[in-house]
Amino acid sequence: MSKHPGITAGRFRHRAAPAAVVAGLILAAAAAPEAAAAASRAPWCGTGPVLQADAMPRRVTPAQCRLAGRTLRSAAGASAVAPTDGTTVTAHLLRPDGAAELRISPDPETGGYTVSHDFAGLTPPTGDRAAPLDPCTDTEHKVSPTAWPKGATIKWRYYAGTAKNGGLGLRHPFRAISRGIVNAVNAHTDCNQPDGLGPKPNIFEHFDGDTDKAPNIGDEGTCRQRDSVNSFGWKRAAGLQTFILGMTCTWEIDHRTVEGDTALPDQPGMWWEPGDDRRGARAPLPGCPPNHYIPSAVATHEALHVLGLEHVEGARHAALTMTPALASCDDGAATLGKGDYDGLIELYGPRP
């Protein structure tokens, strides 16, 4: 028998620690990884509901910040929820003075995301103030890295919102939206009539009826998680801090578009419909009140985003539909120019 208390048969006999001490040690051990993770988080990660995309690097790792399910917003106003289902989301926001874009993609190398954002204005910083080129000869275009499969039919639904009650002051709110979609898919143009610019692109659309599902865009203009419905229509955007003309969200998997939603602001006093004989006319349209916009022109621009076209910057290309700004009472964007058409043909080829 050992003469030393607490030692027996060559083994240490430990005295039981108080329960409170044991509990504290367990909690400290459990909290250690969380504390280490919190210490490694980037300062811009924060804990609030909205993160500023402009403060982030292009590639965001999970150690820096866990973005899944959180809202990212660019300084120009485009915002989206980082997808949790492996899709890539792109948010487009059209303003009278330019257009914002935010793109959030899963990064398979890090398990995080890549984040890119941009603001395109009518006149670039270089001071290009030349007169616009003729849209029927201007071949400038830019295509997205994603598109629908060639020959696909995009089935879309219409969401009326309060427009069905005449709240927008439009005689034909559905026709304004549908005209934009049809104009884009069929490459409707005033150039080289009656044959147009060439064969139509190999992509189709089909109106699948009305829906009570609003475009999957929050009141603050945020692209949410996709819901597998291509919804086009009117949406109140009271949460946006800037005046906007249109919002579009697209979702893609492996560079194939799987959903597209478009919303025009459900805002009385900003829209005006031209007569059928004035489609495609450049501003100003006779009878159009100041600070009013042509909904079918905006809808055509936004539908081309859904199809995969991106903005072409510079005043020389301001007569194309994919110019990143739209003037009041300008209906020219409702009909495609050569560059807009060439972009669709590049993505889809001609219809067989």
Question: For helices 295-307 and 338-348, what crossing angle results, to 10°?
Answer: 30
Ranges of beta strands (E only) in the chain are 7-8, 11-12, 50-52, 59-60, 71-73, 79-81, 88-95, 98-107, 112-121, 153-159, 204-210, 222-223, 231-235, 246-253, 256-265
Structure tokens at 194: 């009656």
- pLDDT, position 36: 40
The Cα–Cα gap between 191 and 89 comes to 34
Structure tokens at 91: 């948010």
**Comparing C-alpha atoms, which of 156, 275, 279, 249 is closest to residue 207?**
156
Are the beta carbons of 170 and 295 closer than 8 angstroms? yes
Structure tokens at 55: 């403060």
The Cα–Cα gap between 321 and 244 comes to 17
Q: Average pLDDT for consecutive 10-residue bins of the chain (352 residues)?
A: 39 42 42 45 88 96 96 94 96 91 96 95 57 94 96 97 78 94 96 88 98 89 94 84 88 97 91 67 72 95 98 92 92 95 98 95
Of the CA atoms within 13 Å of residue 218, those in its CB half-sphere come to 17
- pLDDT, position 164: 76
- Amino acid letter for position 55: A
Are the beta carbons of 346 and 187 closer than 8 angstroms? no
Structure tokens at 295: 């909904």
The owner of tokens 């941009």 is 118
- pLDDT, position 269: 86
Are the beta carbons of 139 and 226 closer than 8 angstroms? no
Residue 93 burial class via C-beta count within 10 angstroms: exposed 0-12, middle 13-18, buried 19 and up: buried
Give the number of other CB atoms < 10 A from CB of residue 258.
16
Q: Is 270 helix (H, G, I), strand (E, B) or coil?
A: coil
Give the domains, in start order, of the chain with CATH numbers: 50-348 (3.40.390.10)
